[in-house]
Amino acid sequence: MGHDAVALPTPKISPSMLSSDFANLASEAKFMEDCGADWLHMDIMLFYSENSKVKRFNILPRESKFLKLVRLLKAFLDCHLMVTNPADYVMPFAKAGASSFTFHAEVTKDSWPELIKSIKSSGMQAGVAIKPGTPIEDIFPLVEGEDSVDMVLVMTVEPGFGGQSFMPDMMPKVKELRRRYPNLDIQVDGGLAPSTIDQAAAAGANVIVAGSAVFGAKDPAGVIKILRNSIERAQSSKIFFQ
Ligand SMILES: O=C(CO)[C@H](O)[C@H](O)COP(=O)(O)O
Ligand SMILES: [Fe+2]
């Protein structure tokens, strides 16, 4: 099938709640929806804490109050789990109303198929994330296998913090994914902003996480529009297939 016949996945803008006012999560979520957000991105970080013994986490997995509030808004909750034991989080997140569950490829090599199966059978979409140092080839089996993921998240910063600089050298990974899988949801996370979005769009990303660029803007709705327009432009020109 030529690329002209391929239905490219729709652009989705997913503001990262990591940059929101945690004391007012529900109203911040509603505000993002009003600004045109498609999804809401939630970061759950216990990744480093378990190794370094530094307890650092953002939204407690068992604290489902926020998830329930957002469920009332019928938002799509895009959950990015930077945890070393993602299987333990599947049921709590499914029960709390998460829409998608993205785990890190670096942590669960032995149990990928079981993990994906359990995420999907509990009613969530499954995603796999890779850190900047992880080669893209590592996750091809997860996209092609019988129990395959719905989305690949290419980290464009080292996981851990909002407000870091976008890593353009991650774009060849995105480009390779888009070339191989024209209709896969490809997410980029870290440092996405009006100044960096065109690089991600040209590489073929269609799901854009942005925290500081959206929440720190005077006009968050305007920023969301700029991000979306860039993806739409790249998709209509099919620049990433050239
Ligand atoms: O996963 C993350 C950090 O590990 C965040 O989603 C990401 O950093 C978003 O923040 P920003 O857009 O400000 O870079
Ligand atoms: Fe994230």
**Cα gap 38→32, rounded to integer Å:** 9
What residues have CB less than 8 Å from 130, skipping those under 6 apart? 104, 105, 106, 136, 138, 139, 152, 153, 154, 155, 173
43 has which bridge partners?
80
Ligand 2 center to residue 156 CA distance, Å?
10
Q: What does DSSP assign to residue 97? A: T
- On whether residue 2 sits in a domain, the answer given is no
- On whether residue 82 sits in a domain, the answer given is yes
Q: How far is CA 15 from CA 24, 50, 180, 223, in A?
A: 15, 26, 27, 10
14 has which bridge partners?
209
Per residue in 149-158, pLDDT (tens digit) is 999 999 999 9
CA 191-194-199 angle, to 5 degrees, is 70
Q: Which of 13, 17, 18 is the pocket-test mutation for ligand 1 (most atoms within 8 Å of CB)?
A: 18
- On whether residue 122 sits in a domain, the answer given is yes
For ligand 2, a single-atom ion, the residues with CB < 5 A are 43, 80, 189
C-beta separation of 129 from 108 below 8 A: no
Host domain of residue 232? 9-241
- On whether residue 68 sits in a domain, the answer given is yes
20 lines ligand 1 (CB under 6 A): no
190 lines ligand 1 (CB under 6 A): yes
35 vs 67 pLDDT, higher one: 35
Find the CATH number of the domain harbouring 17: 3.20.20.70
Res 21 pLDDT > 70: yes
229 lines ligand 1 (CB under 6 A): no
Per residue in 182-238, pLDDT (tens digit) is 999 999 999 999 999 999 999 999 999 999 999 999 999 999 999 999 999 999 997
- On whether residue 197 sits in a domain, the answer given is yes
- On whether residue 188 sits in a domain, the answer given is yes
83 lines ligand 1 (CB under 6 A): no
Per residue in 111-134, pLDDT (tens digit) is 889 999 999 999 999 999 999 999
**Cα gap 183→235, rounded to integer Å:** 11
Res 54 pLDDT > 80: no
- On whether residue 4 sits in a domain, the answer given is no
Predicted local confidence at residue 58, as pLDDT: 53
Question: What is the domain count for the chain?
Answer: 1
- Choice among 38, 78, 150, 189 that is catalytic: 189
Task: Indicate the pTM of the whole model.
Answer: 0.92
Other Cβ atoms closer than 10 A to 29: 23
38 lines ligand 1 (CB under 6 A): no
Predicted local confidence at residue 46, as pLDDT: 66
ipTM, two decimals: 0.98
- On whether residue 186 sits in a domain, the answer given is yes
Task: Give the start-end residues of each E strand in the chain.
Answer: 12-15, 39-45, 76-82, 100-104, 125-130, 151-155, 185-189, 207-210
| Helix axes of 25-34 and 65-72: crossing angle, nearest 10 degrees | 30
158 CA: nearest ligand 1 atom:
4
